[in-house]
Each structure stands twice: as structure tokens, then as C-alpha cells.
Structure 1
Amino acid sequence: MKKQRKWWIPGTAVLCVAVGVGISLFLRYRGKSPEELLISYMDCISAGKYEKMYEMIDAKASGNISLEDFTRRNQAIYEGIEMQDMKISEIDCSEKEKTVKYTASFDTAAGKVSFENEASFTRGKEGCLLVWEDSLIFPELGAKDRVSVAAIPAKRGEILDRNGTVLAGKGLVSSVGIVPGKLKDRESAISEISGLLEMDPEQIEEMLAADWVTEDSFVHLKTLPKVQELELGTLEPEEDVVREKDRQQRLLEIPGVMISDKEARTYPLGEAAAHLVGYVQSVTAEDLEEHEGEGYHTDSVIGKTGIEALYEKELKGRDGCRICVVDDQGNEKTVLAQTPKEDGTDIRLTIDAGLQKSCYEQFQQDPGCSVAMDPMTGEVLALVSTPSYDSNDFILGLTDEQWTALNEDAGKPLYNRFREAWCPGSSIKPIIAAVGLKTGTLDPTEDFGNVGLSWQKDASWGDFYVTTLHAYEPVTMKNALIYSDNIYFAKAALKIGAENLENSLDELGFGQEIPFEILMTPSCYSNTGKIESEVQLADSGYGQGELLMNPLHLASLYTAFLNDGNVLRPRLQYEDKAEGEIWLEGAFSPEHVDQVLEGMDGVVNDPNGTGYGAHRTDTRLAGKTGTAELKESQEDTSGTEIGWFAVFTEEVEAERPLLLVSMVEDVKQMGGSGYVVAKDKVILDEYLGR
């Protein structure tokens, strides 16, 4: 259907005398029987050849209808109902009564229409012509009747979190408009309205000048947030709520301005879930062309980003349609066709709205992202990218200034960071340790020896040295994880070897699409697909070099430490009684997992551990911090740092199992990964303490 609003096809205009037809019409159809004439006439309807149809009628016997009125009436109805595939059958001609009985059937926007009908004809010396009446279109259609084509809008499905909390659904907004006839001091009023609505006065004048506008029309100007009445006794109402309430009150004080409630798609979590949930917008001409035949019309909305776009087909539903004949008093005479609406399907996600919001609130000013999972099922509990934007703004309508500000914001709020791949730094070390154990190239008890805070294999490395922050003894795998020793893991990578490491990372999903509903950037260990040098290999051991990881991929690999070495597939669609689905079976052995887990436990629970800031006495946690340096050379002091913290509930039987991975760009002046640890601690306190 092409229209969602109800509309009327007008009745026949004042009749005028047909001229210019003459005997040429008879000559054109000379020799045709009434049956053949009827078939030719009906064939022209499907082709939209209204002028040829007119040549087949006896205009005088048809009330002297003009070609213009004939075309207007037929075209408006047939094209308005989207008539297609006209078929005529069971034709029975009576020469005595000069009638042709037939059965017509065709498809419409509301489904198939089929009816029995009767057409009259005249016969002259040169042949026969049809007598046109409105009933030739539909038997029940009179000259003053109209055909109503009304959409029955389908409800768009809601997007829900695991507990049924609405992430996207039907809500109320405020529609601000003008009743032109009630404006006083028009120029001054429009100037004030334009200032309050941040619109150009010329734009408002243009909207008021539309052909359909009368003095009593309500002319919609802008959609604003719905502001509920502030509760009595509220000491500190949100500043933006107070500001919006004041703006709408000032608008209502202008004579001629009206504000009414209007249903619209709303996003209760706003900025906290924008990159995940996305937003809808009105369809464009390009959308209608791309999705032709899929039930979209000019008043439709379509998912543009996030879950709204990913599950567009399921959420959209399909509008119903009702085609009726209505008399000139507006009374319904008969229903010609009707198709029921099919409401869209609700999409329930594994997301925990409270955790999603908590992650956003902690990092909302930081360029970064967070991924939270249930490590026992693979269910994704939160996907957050910061800074963010408010999906509701796209429903209300962004001004050019707002759109420009979003695009020029240095924090890149439109950029979805959880979909990208980043330098993981030391957060990759547990994976490297497990790879070394699996390939038999590392002995977890071997003491690599204390070589200080700087090391290189030999002089062939030139000016390149691997540096670390802490000296400790013995230099074993467990301690290397606790102290996050770059030198140990550089040596470990060299022991593993480039080929072993490449093959192992390939087996762990590097260079592959992550099996997840949302498309993520694949992780990689080299720009060329190969580790080209010893220095690159050593760098890769502690998450530098050309190694890049998607945060969801990193979180998925960490599930191996709680599932006997099996990596679980991350999932976003909620299922009752969900069980973990293995993505990478036997990635590591249970024995190797336990050996690595000893060090990860120490990261959070040993006072020397780099993640000790997240230590809890009520819940045993394990994890790994990471600080990735981004600089042009080893001597570069102006480079930035990416901070990571990956942490999870260590006990398999934990009451609220959680695996949380957070990343923040540019933490060099904020305490490195310690900044992320402190933020994650608040999230853990809120979630585990519920």
C-alpha cells in the first residue's frame, strides 16, 4: 500500500457533453461482438489505457460524460486500490436485452476482489459500444458514491531486554503546531515560535502556506519530548526536564499554538543503548525503491541502525487494508476487500537493561566500549559504546545544527566502538599463556630469570627493547600474569614461534567472522596475514605489534577459563533456560585452563596484582588488565594508550555469573588500565550487589 492515511476518491464531476467522437469510434471497433468489446475494454484497465477505454463507450448513452471526467473517475479508483491482473470470465450476452453478464476478478491493495456484474451496450449500423456507468467499476458503486481505501496500521514489535524491560517501543511525544486562524500579531508570534523551536521563520511560513492549510487546520511544526508533570516535593528535578517543561509552557502561552500527544517510537534507555538498539526513521524514496513490494509506504518508518535495522523484517509487521464503497453521507455501503494487519514480532534480547545503563553511566564521557556476558551461557548482557547519542533525537527530528554537532564532536558519539578491533595490550596475555601450554612450548613453572625492566634478545634488534614496569621473582607464568610482565610474554612468544602462534590464533577465530547476530570487525594478528619478524612476534606476545582484537571476541575467548577450555558462542537473542553453545571446542585443555587461571586469580586477589583494585571479599574474581601503547616509535613520547580490564566471576556456581570487558582510549594521563579497573569496580558493585 502506498498511503497510510484514509482518503476518498471523488465522485463524478459535473457532466459535460462529449464531442469529437463521431463515427470514428464505430469504425475502430466495427465488427466486434459485445463479448469481444467487453474483453478489450477490461484489458485496457490493467494497462491504464483510459483514452482507449473511452473510445469503446457510447458517450451519449453514458450521460454525455467527457473524456476528462471519465479518465479522472476510473484512474482514481483503479489506481487508488492498486488494481492488478484483471480477469473476465463466464461472459453471457443477451442481444435482446442488450446486456453482457460477466464475472470480474482482480488483485488490490486489500486482496482479491471478485464479483458478478452486468454491462449494457448499444448497437448501431457500424457495431456496438458499451454504456458506461459507475457500476461498471463495482456493481454497488453509484454516481455519488466514493471508494475508501484505509490502511490498518500494524504495530511495530518492541525490543525488550531479558527481563521484559522495553528498550524500544511505543511511547508518547508532544506534537507542536499552529492553528493559523488563532494567531495574533502573526509576524511577532512566528518569530517567537521559531526561536523556541529552533526553526527558521521562513520554514514556518512555508509550512503554513501549504495548499491544504485552512484557518482551522492544525499545522504540525515539530515533535518535542513528552514532559510529565513534575512530582510535588521533588527537590532536584533533572535540569533538562525543567528546561523542556518551561519551553513548552512558553509555547502554549502564544495564541494559536497547540501541543498534543502523539504516538511515536521511543527509546527509554536513550544514550545508554543507542549503538545497540539503533533507531528508526521515515522511509526515503530510496528506501521505497529498494524495498518495493515489501509493504512500505510514504508514511512508514524503517530501522536504520542497530537492532532496529538488524531485525527490521520481524519488527515491521504488515499493515492491513480495507476497501469500501461509501455513499455521499459517509455511510459504508459494502466492503469490497479487506486484509487484516499482522503486528510486528517483539524481539527479546539477552541484554540486562540495568547492567547496560550501569556500564554507560561509568564510561559515558570516555571514548571506549564495554561488553558484558554470562560466561556460563555466552549470553551478552551489555554492549555499550561511549560517548553516545540519544536515539530519541532521531525520532524528534534533528536540526542541521544538531546533526553537524554530532558529526564534528571530537568524541565521535556516532562511532560504534564495540564493533571495531583494537590493540589489546596485556589483556591478550592469558590467551598467549594458554597457547604456549597447548603447543608444549611453555613450562608454567620455568623461571625466565629477572633481567630488569628492559630487555632485547640480541643486538640484531638494534634500538628495540621490550620494557616492563615491575621487577619480581621468580619469573614464572603465574607471576608474569600477576605483574603483567611484557618481557616474560615477549620471550614466551619467541618460544612459541611465529608459525605455532599464527596457527593457534587462526584456530581461536582470528581472521574469521564472529558467530554473532551483529557483524563485528574480525580480530587479526598481522596486516599481511603473517608475522614477519622476531620483533613483531615478541610484540605480539604482549598484545602489541599488529595484533588487533574485537572486544566481544576477547570476551568470548575468556569463557574458555570457566568451561573446561571450550569457547562459547556469544548470543544476543534471549531463550528461556539458555545453555551455552560451544563455538570453539577444546580450544584449551582443562589442565592448561587451571594453570592460567592461577595467574588470573592473582591479578585481582593478590595485592601486587594489576587488577587488585576490583578485589572483593564476597565474590571471587579473576581477570587481566591491559595497557596498549599507540606510538610511532619506541622513542615517541606523544603517543596514546588504550586501557583494558577483563574480569569475571571465578566460581562456576556463582549466583550472578558475569564476564566484563571494558576498553577506554587515551588513558595515558588518567592512570592507564587502573582507570578502567576503578570504573569497572563500580559496575561490579552494582551488578553483583543487587
Structure 2
Amino acid sequence: MKKWGFGVVAMSGLVLVGCTDEVTPQERLEAYIAAWDEGDYETLYKEFLSDETKQQFDEAAFIERQVALDEALEITERDITFTAPPEDTEWESTEPATFPVQIQVETSAGPIEWEQEMTWQPVEEEELTWMAEWDTGFILPGLEPEDQVRVTTQNFARGEIYDRNGNALAINGTGFEVGLVPGKFTDDTLKPRLAELLGISVDYIDQQLGQSWVTDDVFVPLDKISQVDDSRAALLEIPGVLLQETGMREYPYGAATSHLVGYIGPITAEQLAEREEDGYTEFDQIGRQGLERFLEERLRGESGKRIFIDKAAEGAEDVTLAEIAPVDGERIDLTLDAELQRVTYDAMDGEPGTAATVDPKTGEVLTLLSSPGFEPSEFMLGMTQSRYQELSEDPLQPLFNRFAASYAPGSTLKPITAAIGMEAGTLNPNEGIVIEGATWQKDASWGDYRVTRLHPEAPNPIDLEKSLVYSDNIYYAQQALAMGRETFITGLEAFGFGKDIPFFLNLQSSQVSNDGTISSEGQLADTSFGQGQMLANILHLATTYQPFLTGGTMWQPTLLLEEEDQVVWKEGLASPETITELQAGMRSMVVDGFAQAVNLPGIPVAGKTGTAELKVSLDAEGQENGFFVSYPVETEAFIIAMMIEDVEDNGGSGYVAEKVATVYKLLYE
């Protein structure tokens, strides 16, 4: 306990006759307060309390009650003053002396202030002294010996998360507590089935049913399940099983927003050690992943507390001494369009990959997802080791957050390469290049390295439009060589490659290469069409297409509605002439190219496909990731970027275009 302070306040108009050179009652009170400051209740009892007081209050009870209350009320500061008589006061040795004492204590529920009169009786021992008449009103105002002091915690409501349209993403909803009524559960052979459905053991069921308070007609809780748990119907088929509604965090969009929104769960020992001073306890839940974790300080809120006297007298009302109302967590509104996120996630049909959608007019993030996802409530309620192992070993890696990672973007980089070349003056969009054959190298100095193109049947000469329609790697390799490494790297950096993404969440940045340089002409050629060591984050990739719709500007991506939008990240990236050529080329790529799935009647779309091959060796064929970045031509309402892994057996990037076409159809048809 901290050392307390005390003082005196002058009291006028008091004149006592008779005097003594012995200790005065004021001096005794000052000594009493000094011991009180130190929490030295033993000294208070033995040296200051009158015999009459000691007859009423046992020493052990006197000490233990006050120590216990100091701890329970978390008293951190005490200020005691008294109203003193004039300095020339003379004390009558046969009359009691009374002082108004002002007491203020700081507790976990706020300050408590009161005034209590303390009377000192003159006592003749070896010499005259003064002993205090004490009662429980000096502990707390109005406290009587039989009263109980109680401290209650008032829980806050965790803040909720919503999308831009008010759709709930994480809310304080309801789930179910699953339990048994023993008198109605008469078939023990059903215990294994019940245990399997709940992910618990038969021994645990027996342990719960064997508690001393259990009778045939009481509800015995076993576990909790969420609203979306598909075991509910099967559980209710077991006689004696009951489901009772209980408060629970709900994630209405489930797996579709799982990596972004995250989940809450029981606080770990490590987290508790870090946050105990912030009021967390071992019984709390805390944000464990996603926005639930990143926004923990804002979502958590603050508990309230009430200190009151539970009066012993029959019919007497409780007396509140101090109270702090709970403060609910904040409501967080996202730029996200939850329905668009759900449609996009469903269109991916559980394929491993990621997608991001941005509003080119504002920079707001409309979707950000990783597929496949997981059911957040499984983690919130506590997952068995076997279930966690099952998810961890799933080859589709549902626990891996792909939107936070970066991947080789393949040919989706080509519009950026073209923009850099046109702005540098080295690429003339209308000038065709004659390219023969399926492979090409600059000269013999390249050794065995050659650039390969997928469509050698493309009609010559190859200009910008044809290069986008046929996604011609050789065309872009030659353009990169024409502009040179320094110009190309500078251009990529202007588009945000090699820079931290200015975003609320931690995302792996896109890169030109592992060290930011291009060491050879072969690497320069590979980088021009999104291979080599080039990597792009999916959100950044969608953002790099904004300059083709904004007059050359890239906005900082935003996720919280409260954030300012249209904040410039990069600007001056494309002239009107460059934009016109690229818009036309990306529209032709859809109409005349190899993404016919998205060439939808009545829904004009422009964009660029891309396939990136990930080789484990120079000779082996590797995994192919497919990309498609596009936007609706008439509205330019959004830019959607999607990546799906392992598309080599599904038609490459055209397979991704099919998935994106599903999104367009659901939105516009």
C-alpha cells in the first residue's frame, strides 16, 4: 500500500478550560492518523482504541477486516484530514475531545469521501493520555458491524464489426450451451456418439454427471456450440440432450471473412502476462487473429465496477459507495462489401487462392479474402488437438492467409510494364515488332536461356494491343531491354514495388527482386512479364491498375470507413495517351483473347490474365498460379484481382477468368 497523507483544518470558536502539560488529544489524533497511513492496524488497536471499543471489536477481526477491504477495494490512495481547534485551545482533562475527521480513499471504482467524528476520552494511566472511541464508520461511510461490503464487476459489451452497408461481420450474438438432463438420458450407449459430436471424451461426460449437485432433473452443461455448428440437429436426436441459448460472438460470414475478421478466443498465459495490468483476467477472451486482434484495444471496452454496502438490517437497501459504469467497445465500420466478399469467396469454390477488390474512385478496399477459409467459431470455442491437426495438415492450407503473402504475378504485370515503357518513350503502342517462333534470345551471350511465348501463332507484327491479347512474353522482354534496367526498376518502384504497402494490416510488400536489383538481361526479361524474382501482393496488384482509371494516380488502400479516402500514394504514373491505349488493349484482351469466359454479353469487362510458373528445378515442370485482374468498363466501379493456385490442369489463367465471370454475373445479371 502506498503511504498516505494527512493534514489538519483549523476549527474556530472552541475554548476549553483547564490545562495540562501532558499529551493533547490533537497530538494523539495526529499519531493515530500516521499509523493509519501506514496501514498499521495492530498499532491502532493496541495503542489508540479505548477499552470500551476493544470490548466491542476483537483485535483479529479489527485488523483482518480492514486489511481485506484495502485489498478488495484496491485502495491506492488515502487522504485524511481533521478540523483542528485554535492553537491556544486548552484541554479539559475530565472531558472528551471530539474532532471532525475527513476521509477520502481512491478505490478501483473511484473515490469515496465522507466525514466522521472521532471522540477521544481522557484516561489516567501513569500520566494523562487520550483513547479513541472507534466504530466501523471509520472503515467506510455508514458501515455497521454486521454489514457486508461487496464489489461487483459490470461487464462491457465487446465492440462489433460491420461492413460499409451495415452487414454484421463480428457481433455479440447467441450460441448454444449443450447439456444433459440426467433423468432423461437413460441410454449409456449413446455417450460415445454424444462425445464424438461435441469433441469431448466419455470420461468428461461421466465426470460432469457425477458432480455432487447433479440430480435427475437439472441441466448439466457439457459444451458450447455456435449457431452455424452443423451438429445441432444430430445432438437434439439424442434423448436427454438440451440446447440452451447463451451469449456468444457470432461471425455471420464465416469462412468468407475468416482470415480478415479473425476470431476471439481464451486468453493465453503469455497474453495474460503482458496484459494483466490492463485489467485482463484468466477468464477473458481476447482477439486472436485478424481484425479481432489488430483492433483489440478498440473492441475490448472497459469493465465497470460497483462498491456497495449490503445492509444487514431487514428491509434496508444497499448503499452504493462508488461506481464506474462499464464502457462498451467501439463499433468498427469497414469499407468492405460483405456481400461482394461472399460472392467472390463462393465463386472460388474452395480453390486455394486469394482475391482483392478496390474502388478506383476512392482507394477503399471492397473485398480481401483468402481461400479456403475456416469457421472462426471453432477457434473461438476451443478446438481439439485432433481437429487443429486436421486443419494444419489439410493440403489446401485453410489456415494460411494468402492475401497477406506475395506471389509471382505473371502476365498481369504486362500493363504496368507497358505503361512504364510508354511514359519513358521507349514503347510506341502502334509500332509492331516481327516475332518469329515460340522462343527468343537476344544473342548467344544468354547461353541456354530463352524467352518462351505461349502463342507463336499470333499474327505479325506484334503491337501493344496484340501483345495484350496474346500475352506475348517476347514482346515485353524486348520492351524491357529497350528501356533498360534502371528505367524499368525506377518505373516499378513508382508503382509501389519494393515499398511498404500503406495499409492498416500487415501485408507482405511486392518486390522487384530479392535484393531490389536486376542483375542480368535474362532477369530483366523475366521480370518484364512478372516472373523471375518478381512478387506482388494481391491487394497491391489490384491497386496498380488504378492509374489506368484515375488519370495516373494510385490511392492508399483503406479498410476502415473512418479513414480518409483518396489519399495519394503514387501519382503521375500514366498520361492520358497511355491510359487510352491500355484501356483499349485490356478490353481487346477480353473480347479477342483467351479469357472468353468473362466476355459477357451486356457486361463489358477489361483486364489482363496471367500465369506464373513456379519451378522446383530448371528441367521440371512446376506449379502454375493463375491470375486475372479486371474491371467493368461502363461503370469502372471496382477493380478485382484474383489468384488461384495449381491451375496447370484446369486451363491456366482462363480458369481464373471463369471464376471472376461468376462474380460479374451475380452482380450484374
Q: Tell me which interval the TM-score lies in, with the shorter structure as reference length.
A: 0.7 to 0.9
More deviation, 412-421/201-210:
201-210
Partner of 1:104: 103
Match of 1:496 among 464, 471, 483: 483
Q: Which residue identity does 1:77 align to in structure 2? A: L
Partner of 2:29: 35
Alignment of 1:95-494 (within 5 A): 96-97=95-96, 99-119=98-118, 125=125, 133-177=135-179, 193-204=194-205, 220-226=221-227, 241=230, 243-250=231-238, 253-254=239-240, 258-328=242-312, 332-471=317-456, 472=458, 473-494=460-481
- Contact 2:226–2:248 (Cα < 8 Å) also in 1: no
Separation in structure 1 between the aligned mates of residue 663 and residue 57 of structure 2, nearest angstrom: 77
Separation in structure 2 between the aligned mates of residue 346 and residue 431 of structure 1, nearest angstrom: 39
Separation in structure 2 between the aligned mates of residue 131 and residue 495 of structure 1, nearest angstrom: 100
Q: Which residue identity does 1:244 align to in structure 2? A: R
Cα separation, partners in 2 of 1:244 and 1:485, compared to 1, 3 Å: same
Separation in structure 2 between the aligned mates of residue 599 and residue 551 of structure 1, nearest angstrom: 22
Offset at residue 628 of structure 1 (A): 0.2
Aligned with 2:403: secondary structure?
helix
Separation in structure 2 between the aligned mates of residue 463 and residue 154 of structure 1, nearest angstrom: 67
Q: Which residue identity does 1:499 align to in structure 2? A: E
Alignment of 1:48-127 (within 5 A): 58=49, 61-63=53-55, 65=57, 68-92=60-84, 96-97=95-96, 99-119=98-118, 125=125
Separation in structure 1 between the aligned mates of residue 284 and residue 601 of structure 2, nearest angstrom: 54
Separation in structure 2 between the aligned mates of residue 324 and residue 306 of structure 1, nearest angstrom: 40
Offset at residue 561 of structure 1 (A): 0.7
Match of 1:591 among 559, 571, 577: 577
Separation in structure 2 between the aligned mates of residue 446 and residue 658 of structure 1, nearest angstrom: 31
- Contact 2:513–2:534 (Cα < 8 Å) also in 1: yes
- Contact 2:25–2:120 (Cα < 8 Å) also in 1: no
- Contact 1:32–1:128 (Cα < 8 Å) also in 2: no
Q: Which residue identity does 1:341 align to in structure 2? A: P
Alignment pair present for 1:650 and 2:633 = yes
Partner of 1:613: 597
The TM-score normalised by the length of structure 2 is 0.87
Offset at residue 293 of structure 1 (A): 4.3
Alignment pair present for 1:510 and 2:494 = no
Cα separation, partners in 2 of 1:664 and 1:120, compared to 1, 3 Å: farther
Offset at residue 221 of structure 1 (A): 2.7
Partner of 2:666: 686
Cα separation, partners in 2 of 1:583 and 1:67, compared to 1, 3 Å: same
Offset at residue 258 of structure 1 (A): 4.8
The TM-score normalised by the length of structure 1 is 0.85
Q: How many residue pairs get matched?
A: 632
Offset at residue 397 of structure 1 (A): 2.4
Offset at residue 112 of structure 1 (A): 1.4
Cα separation, partners in 2 of 1:202 and 1:369, compared to 1, 3 Å: same
Alignment RMSD (CA, Å): 3.0
Separation in structure 2 between the aligned mates of residue 32 and residue 186 of structure 1, nearest angstrom: 78
CA displacement, residues 569-589 of structure 1 (integer Å, 9 cap, x when unaligned): 21112269x863322121221
Separation in structure 2 between the aligned mates of residue 51 and residue 572 of structure 1, nearest angstrom: 60
Offset at residue 624 of structure 1 (A): 0.4
Q: Which residue identity does 2:233 align to in structure 1? A: K
Q: Which residue identity does 2:554 align to in structure 1? A: V
CA displacement, residues 343-388 of structure 1 (integer Å, 9 cap, x when unaligned): 2221111111111111111224211101012222222111110111
Cα separation, partners in 2 of 1:190 and 1:514, compared to 1, 3 Å: same
Separation in structure 2 between the aligned mates of residue 322 and residue 313 of structure 1, nearest angstrom: 23
Separation in structure 2 between the aligned mates of residue 208 and residue 132 of structure 1, nearest angstrom: 52
Cα separation, partners in 2 of 1:186 and 1:684, compared to 1, 3 Å: closer
Larger radius of gyration: 2
Separation in structure 2 between the aligned mates of residue 331 and residue 195 of structure 1, nearest angstrom: 52
Cα separation, partners in 2 of 1:391 and 1:331, compared to 1, 3 Å: farther
Separation in structure 1 between the aligned mates of residue 324 and residue 520 of structure 2, nearest angstrom: 67
Aligned with 1:291: secondary structure?
helix
Identity of aligned residues (%): 37
- Contact 1:59–1:65 (Cα < 8 Å) also in 2: no
Partner of 1:17: none
Segments of 5+ residues of structure 2 without an aligned counterpart are: 1-22, 86-90
Offset at residue 600 of structure 1 (A): 0.9
Segments of 5+ residues of structure 1 without an aligned counterpart are: 1-28, 228-239
Offset at residue 283 of structure 1 (A): 2.9
Offset at residue 190 of structure 1 (A): 6.6
Q: Which residue identity does 2:35 align to in structure 1? A: Y
Separation in structure 2 between the aligned mates of residue 397 and residue 633 of structure 1, nearest angstrom: 42
Offset at residue 148 of structure 1 (A): 2.2
